[in-house]
Amino acid sequence: MAQYSATPCKKEDLQSLWETVFGDSRFVTDAFFAYAFDPDGCFYAERDGKAVAALYLLPVLSGDTKGFYLYAAATLPAYRGQGLMGSLIREALAYAEKNAQFVYLCPAEDSLYAYYARFGFSQTLYAACYEKAVTDEISDAQQMYLYAKTLTNCPCFLPSVYRYACLIGCKMYRCGGTLFAEKAMYPSGTPQPCGSVVPYGTAITFTENCLPADWYAFLTMN
């Protein structure tokens, strides 16, 4: 297990791993490494000299509280079931506990909530869902960042991360004065009843009560 800032592997290995597991194009991974990648937040496992599992911590702020968004955790199919991801998560959480007060993530599948609970993720995040939404696609990353800073009970990423989100085509919705990412609107792929609030993420906190109970996912980039 290694941290990229201490022992960098080939970026191309990390991109190939990402593209194999998630099916994304090189355009997406180029955008991530250009705008959202943080060497201190990259943890990976190597086999035969190549990265076969990796995850990323993206810095966020909730008010003045520092945290991380755990993103793009992936293991190549041939190396699953060997405990590699579990080791990476524990290593990443140890780093996060020294540098922040919480870590959160938005699982790609509901079944993964139980998996992450093994590592202490227990606080539920939510997303507001609306049957009819006025779409408001924001192409200006700086505008997205400045708007995110005004939201309460929502994490705010670094400005460059919003640039990445814009490049990969993240559509935002403005509902009741609040923006939510497209998948946060419909986390299961099915429109929810108008005005309902549904679980859409989980967090682990290192400081008691550092996150409000009604904390919302704002941008997930899943």
Q: What is the pLDDT of residues 89-133, one digit of tens each?
A: 999 999 999 999 999 998 888 889 999 999 999 988 876 554 333
**Could you tell me the pTM of the whole model?**
0.86
**CATH number of this structure's domain 2-108:** 3.40.630.30
Beta strand pairing status for 197-205 and 172-175?
Answer: unpaired
Residues of the chain with CATH 3.40.630.30: 2-108
Q: What is the pLDDT of residues 36-59, one digit of tens each?
A: 999 999 999 999 999 999 999 999
Q: Are 104 and 59 in contact (CB under 8 A)?
A: no
Q: Where are the alpha helices (DSSP H) in 76-170?
A: 84-99, 112-117, 141-150, 159-167
Q: Which of 17-21, 79-83, 145-149, 203-207 has the lowest mean pLDDT?
A: 145-149
